[in-house]
Amino acid sequence: MPSPLRTPWVSSRIGLQLLCSQRLQSFGFLRQSSQGFTLVEVLVSMLVAVIFVSMTMQALVTSAMFRIAATQYDEAVSWIQEDLEAVVRQAAQYETTALPYSSLCAAQTSANGLAASFINDSTGGLGGSSATLGPRALGGKYYNMTRTATYTDSYDPFKVLYVTYTVIPQGETRPIANVRTEVIPHGVFKCP
């Protein structure tokens, strides 16, 4: 019985492996273990390392930019919320002491209604339809906030006003935050 190492299939396989390894060595793909790296191999490995490091650095820079933009947006929204809370406090107290109810409840036109009166009243209301607040530093950059109040496009122009906030960097035109909300003067709730 022939030995398993001497079968024609195994010996031809070993011969094929030797032949392939000799061919690969002749083309420079395989080297003896005592040889060092070739210049091409070193350059390719350096190129791969440079590509990896540059992609990693680009990702770090991009994430830092997004983090700064998110911080500025969060601070802008907080600024809007502060002013909106002040407007809501004013609206909560507007015309609530009139007994039995405000004379503005009987307005014939929306320009004479509670919403318009709250916008234009300089003592108890907003003091005008538009106000610019700022500058204020948000995330290391200065911004202005514009508050615009209108009643004409609301679903009930006699009683409801829309307040729109826009936060824009100084010297630029593209806003970083826009908020539009409704405000109802609490004197409305006493109207018949």
Over residues 74-95, the pLDDT tens digits come to: 999 999 999 999 999 999 999 8
Q: What is the pLDDT of residue 163?
A: 96
3-class DSSP state for residue 164? strand
Q: What is the pLDDT of residue 13?
A: 58
Residue 39 lies in a domain: no
Asked if pLDDT for residue 16 goes beyond 70, the answer is no
In angstroms, the Cα distances linking 58 to 50, 61, 69, 150 are 12, 5, 17, 45
Over residues 132-141, the pLDDT tens digits come to: 999 999 888 9
Residue 177 lies in a domain: yes
Domains contained in the chain, number: 1
Residue 107 lies in a domain: yes
Domain that holds residue 99: 67-190
Share the mean pLDDT of the chain: 86
Residue 13 lies in a domain: no
Residue 21 lies in a domain: no
Q: What is the pLDDT of residue 124?
A: 87
Quote the longest CA-to-CA distance of the chain.
Answer: 120
Report how far Cα 117 is from the mean position of its chain's Cα atoms.
36
Average pLDDT over residues 155-179: 93
Non-local (6+) Cβ contacts of 158 within 8 A are 107, 110, 113, 114, 115, 151
Q: What is the pLDDT of residue 101?
A: 86
Amino acid (one-letter) located at 170:
Q
Higher local confidence (pLDDT), 23 or 94? 94
Q: How confident is the model at residue 14 (pLDDT cuts 50, 70, 90)?
A: low
Q: What's the order of all strands across the beta sheet hosting 177-183?
A: 130-138, 141-150, 161-169, 177-183
Residue 48 lies in a domain: no
Over residues 115-129, the pLDDT tens digits come to: 999 999 988 889 999
Q: What is the pLDDT of residue 1?
A: 52
Mean pLDDT is lowest, of 8-12, 48-52, 55-59, for 8-12
Residue 2 lies in a domain: no
Q: What is the pLDDT of residue 35?
A: 74
